[in-house]
Amino acid sequence: MRIAIVAFGKLRIPGSRDLADHYLKLLRPWVDLEEIEIKEESQRKPSQLLSDALGRLRGKPRLYLLDEKGTNSSTLEWSRWIQKEREQGSNQILCIAIGPATGWDAESRALAQGILSFGAQTLPHDLARLVLVEQLFRAWSVLKNHPYHNEGSQ
């Protein structure tokens, strides 16, 4: 399975790149993962920038957007969702996009197979991206029976 994280902007908070790289390093033995960073451009719609980014992927992406109005799921639900996506086929790319500061436009939402959320609060871009890579690692650790996620062990 391949996963692509599409993000508007670079990680800017000091230390956030190192922390993201830590979780990406842990994930990479289990999944082919790539990051695509999009520079926001005031003259172009988010959907245009997103379409350009999807066009750079080698294969057919299944796009999900991160948004506070999306579906909020537990770690175990994330792992079941990833397993379901994995069963779609090896040529599929699970693409998760973190939106621009202005939010997703209607055209971007129309491109997506679904909308995911980490809760109703708005997170800074860097934090949303760090939570995403950590939750991907956590969900994969469930699928691989790795002890990182210890839900129910008490």
Write out the chain's pLDDT in tens, 154 residues: 899 999 998 999 999 999 999 999 999 999 999 999 998 887 889 999 999 999 999 888 999 999 988 989 998 999 999 999 888 776 689 999 998 888 899 999 999 999 999 988 888 899 999 999 999 999 999 999 877 777 654 4
| Structural domain contains residue 149 | no
State the total domains in the chain. 1
Q: Domain range for residue 122?
A: 2-143
- Specify the 3-state DSSP secondary structure of 88: coil
| Structural domain contains residue 138 | yes
| Structural domain contains residue 150 | no
| Structural domain contains residue 114 | yes
First to last CA, the chain: 32
Residue 147 CA to residue 81 CA, distance in Å, equals 20
Q: Which residues pair with 93 in a beta bridge?
A: 2, 61
Residue 31's domain is classified under what CATH number?
3.40.1280.10
| Structural domain contains residue 151 | no
Q: Is the pTM of this model over 0.85?
A: yes
Is the separation of the CB atoms in 78 and 139 below 8 Å? yes
| Structural domain contains residue 153 | no
Residue 31 CA to residue 35 CA, distance in Å, equals 13
Residue 63 CA to residue 77 CA, distance in Å, equals 18
